[in-house]
Each structure stands twice: as C-alpha cells, then as structure tokens.
Amino acid sequence: MAKICLCLTAKTLKRNLEILDKYRKYADMTELRVDCLEPDERLLIRRFPEQAGMPVILTIRRDVDGGQFVGGEGVRINLMARGLAFAETDRRRNFAFLDIEEDLDVPSLEEAARTFGTRIIRSYHNSQGTDPNLLTKIRSMRHSENEIVKISVRANSTKDVLHLLKAGKECADQEKILISMGHYGTYSRILAEQFGSTISYTSAFDEEDAPPAAPGQVDIQELTNLYHFRSITKNTKLYGITGNPLKASSSPQFFNTIFELEGTNAVYVPFPADSIVDFMEIANHLSLEGVSVTIPYKESVIPFLNSMTDEVRKIGACNTLILTPQGWKGANTDARGFSGSLLAFLSRENFKRQRVTVIGAGGAARAVIYELHRLGAKVLILNRTAGKAASLAAPYKFAWGGLDERGIARIEKYRDIIIQTTPVGMGSSGNPSDFADPLAFYNFSGREEVMDLVYNPKMTPLLKRASGAGCNVLNGYDMLIRQAQHQYVYFTGKEFPDHLVSRIRYGEI
C-alpha cells in the first residue's frame, strides 16, 4: 500500500518537529526539506531522524527544481554528507532515504548511503511541464536496483496526466513515485496506488509557516479524513467528478462519507479536466466505475456513451456515467434532483397550473425545462442569447425571450415560480459579472416562489432581493444532494440508505 509522507518545510528543526508531532498519526514517514531551513539550522540536521521517530527522507531541493536551495552544488553535497555522517548501527537513527536528483553524480555519497542502509530516491523534476520521454526516464534513471525512481512533473493539461499514468503502467514492476504537479494532477497524489507510486507527498495546510512543498499537494488531514487514503488499494472502486474549472465541490465529501458509513470499499475523487476526450481515456485507464459530470461537459460527454437513459436522450445532457460491461451508460440525475427539491419545497405533487419563468438555456436549464414540462407547468424561458432560449423552447412549445427589458416584462404572466439556472451569482470565477443579479430589471411582487440552482453562496444577489421582497426562496443545495442520492443508486446499484437521509437533511453529512 502507498505510504503517506509529510513534507516539512518550516524554517527551523524545532518547528518541524512540532508540526510532525501534531500530524504524526496521519503520516508513515516524513521528508525534511533542508532547503527550507535557515542556513544555521541546516548544519544541525544529523540528529533529526532520531528526534522524528519515523523514517525520514533527506532532501535539499534546488531552486531550479522548485526548491529553495540557491547555494553551490559543493555546499549542497556537503550538507547531504553531513546528514549521512556518523552513521549508527541502529538504522532508525539514520536518514531512511536520501533524495538525489538524476543529474547529480556523486558516487562517494551514494556509496555512503548504500553502506549504511539509506535508500536512494533518484528524482527528476520539471516544474514547467511533462516531458515526452517519461517512460525511458523511469526505466533508465536508477544507478542500482535498490533505488526508488521519483518523477515529479508539472501537468499543464489532462493529456500530461494521461502521459504519466500510461508511462507508470508500462513500468508496473518497478518501485517508483510518480507525481503530476499542479491542479490537473492532484488526483495522482490521492490515487498513488493506481498510478503505481509507493509514496504520496503531502503537507499540513493549517501550518502557515510551513507552506505546501509543491503545487497540487493535498492536505494531510484531507488525504486521510476525506479520501481515506490508507484504505485505497488496487481493489478499491473508483468514482469521481469531472469538469472545468472544477470548483470546490461538495460531492467528494458527500460520497466519501457515505461510502465510509456503509463500509463500501470505494473512493470519490475530483478529476479537473481541460479535455473530455483525454479525461475519458484516463477514466478507462483507471477503471473508474462511475463519474459525475459537470460544467462544461454535460453535452460533450454524450458521444462517449454506449447507452443512455430516456432522460439523457430527451434532455440532451448527461451528468452521470456508469460503467457497464458494454461500456459507459449515461444518466441525468439533475432532472429528478431538481423536481424532487422544488416540489418538496412547495409541498406539491406536480407543476400543473403553474406558470414558471426559467432564466438561462444551458445544460442545467435543459434538465429543468424537461421536468417542468413532464410535470405539467407552462414555461417562459429567458436567456442572454435569445436564440438559445428559442431553440430550447421549441420542442415543448414554451414561450421564450431575451434577458432584456422586453423579455423581463413578459414575466408578469409567468410568475408563480421563477427559477434561475445560470452560473451568474456564483461569485467564484473572479469575473465581475459574478455576484450579479440576472433579473435586475424585475421587481418581485413578493408572491413568487424563487429558486436559484446556485448553492454557493447560499443566498445569491437574486435570492436576497427576492427574499427582501417577501418571496419564499430556495437555493440549489437540496437539489445537489438529491441528484447525488440518485447518482449513488446508479453508481452502486443499491438503494440510498434510508437511515442516512435524515442525517443529510440536518447537515451532518
């Protein structure tokens, strides 16, 4: 099973030991990043393994490799030698590993390490990108059999992660550490076992004076408590969510908590992806069993489906992939999640005799419109691009308009319920149009029931204004949970555990 290594990047040894003590229970080993220590402290590293009381990797990372060491190579080699000096017969008092970059050739140092049982991690770093020749590197970097090859390369795209994953698979027989650094590669650290890595490097994000040692690292507590890293084996069923940009999502928390409570050997991981084509190849390589699909891939994923539910066919959007023996099956749980949530909120069975305005005509709106039609509502669709509202409305014979004064004036006849389906109001992309109110021209009478599919923030500007005018308002959180419950059923083939429903409602999960 892959081991968890806590990287220690504080400026003093004392502080590193404090941090190590605080997170000891999460770590199997630790890496002393000597390059992050103050110069005087670097001279005192020899006793650190004994003080640490667990296997320690000695690493002095150069600035060119993403570290902080700017001195000459002579000084660096000297420091490494200092770390290995006065080796003791009790190996727990020596450094367990020495990280040596592939281009550093100091036979005497390697000889000393080998003699006293310090294993060499032969590392290669590229903080700019992912090299095309990784396979050759992995195969040829070792100077002796007992070394562990470490490849740590920046993933600028999903294709880069795929490249590393494939290279790792080709060398399944070899002990190694493979890391795709950065946002796109974060899951290479969670799924270390699947990537064929023996160690996952983590940091303690709560400790501000010991910043994460590399981009894309996962917090050590999150790795253990959210992803249950120690339980991930080759037999663990893998699920996840893909999208771009994949913002902080509640889905990993939801699924991983339920898997744990149910004793299911499964993990649910975020897969940020800049290409659905490359992601689907990764999904196949990792043998994912199920995937939640979010913006912007709900439509572009459809060509990858071998079969689909009626809802996917009619809505034209898919948010759930399930692996079947024949290939991927697509489902749409947004639709039932939406109607279940809104009907419960309104204490209704259906939308008959309800006149409803829907803002937006994207993937989310498509599921909403499908359900409103199925359950008997009369609908007006308003969208920034009026043409898209028109084409969405046509098959249902619904009314449509632009998101302008004229369109908004038409709401008067469709205002029992108003549903906002665009990402406007989400406020997470840094775009000034976020936090905006897409219905700014419209004055609420106070009698409308208003739903915003956005759930973060809990109250969008639109909901705040509607609530201020006396309307009942509902955000998208309950819909999210309901659609995830449907996804759970698709993913596992089991009923959603009844005893967990009330805990979800009370926000315990």
Closest contact distance (angstroms) between CB of 334 and ligand ATR is 9
- Nearby residues of 240 by Cβ (< 8 Å), 6 or more positions away: 187, 268, 269, 270, 271, 288, 291, 292
Within 13 A of 143's CA, how many CA atoms are on the CB side? 18
Token pair, residue 149, equals 């090859």
Closer CB to ligand ATR, residue 197 or residue 383? 383
Binding string, 177-216, against ligand ATR, x = CB under 6 A? Answer: ----------------------------------------
Query: Distance (Å, rounded) from C-alpha 406 to C-alpha 373?
Result: 24
* 360 counts as binding ligand ATR under rule CB under 6 A: yes
Query: Distance (Å, rounded) from C-alpha 396 to C-alpha 393?
Result: 6
Closer CB to ligand ATR, residue 340 or residue 423? 423
Of 118, 203, 383, 475, the residue at the interface with ligand ATR (CB under 6 A) is 383
Query: Distance (Å, rounded) from C-alpha 394 to C-alpha 382?
Result: 13
Closest contact distance (angstroms) between CB of 61 and ligand ATR is 41
Closest contact distance (angstroms) between CB of 196 and ligand ATR is 35
Closer CB to ligand ATR, residue 6 or residue 361? 361
Of 166, 384, 464, 503, the residue at the interface with ligand ATR (CB under 6 A) is 384
464 is a catalytic site residue? no
User: How are strands ordered across the β-sheet holding 119-126?
Assistant: 176-181, 148-154, 119-126, 97-101, 56-59, 29-33, 3-8, 199-202
Instruction: Supply the DSSP symbol for 64.
Output: G
The footprint of ligand ATR on residues 64-83 (CB under 6 A) is none
Binding string, 362-381, against ligand ATR, x = CB under 6 A? Answer: xxxx----------------
DSSP for 305-358, please give it: -SEE-HHHHHH----EEEEETTEEEEE--HHHHHHHHHHHHHT-S--TT-EEEE
- Nearby residues of 430 by Cβ (< 8 Å), 6 or more positions away: none
The residue range among 248-256, 294-302, 410-418, 474-482 that interacts with ligand ATR, by the rule CB under 6 A, is: 294-302
Closest contact distance (angstroms) between CB of 476 and ligand ATR is 11
Token pair, residue 417, equals 């319920």
The footprint of ligand ATR on residues 264-293 (CB under 6 A) is none
H-type alpha helices, 158-275:
158-170, 186-190, 192-195, 220-225, 251-262
Closest contact distance (angstroms) between CB of 364 and ligand ATR is 4
The footprint of ligand ATR on residues 396-455 (CB under 6 A) is 403, 421-424, 433, 438
Query: Distance (Å, rounded) from C-alpha 14 to C-alpha 124?
Result: 29
Closer CB to ligand ATR, residue 49 or residue 423? 423
Closest contact distance (angstroms) between CB of 402 and ligand ATR is 9
- Residue ranges with strand state E in 82-198: 97-101, 119-126, 148-154, 176-181
Within 13 A of 7's CA, how many CA atoms are on the CB side? 26
* 388 counts as binding ligand ATR under rule CB under 6 A: yes
Query: Distance (Å, rounded) from C-alpha 404 to C-alpha 389?
Result: 13
Closest contact distance (angstroms) between CB of 426 and ligand ATR is 9
Closer CB to ligand ATR, residue 346 or residue 386? 386
* 247 counts as binding ligand ATR under rule CB under 6 A: no
Closer CB to ligand ATR, residue 100 or residue 411? 411
Of 150, 159, 176, 298, which residue is the catalytic one? 298
Closer CB to ligand ATR, residue 28 or residue 434? 434
The residues that are catalytic are 298
Q: Could you list the residues that contact ligand ATR (CB under 6 A)?
A: 295-296, 298, 360-365, 383-385, 388, 403, 421-424, 433, 438
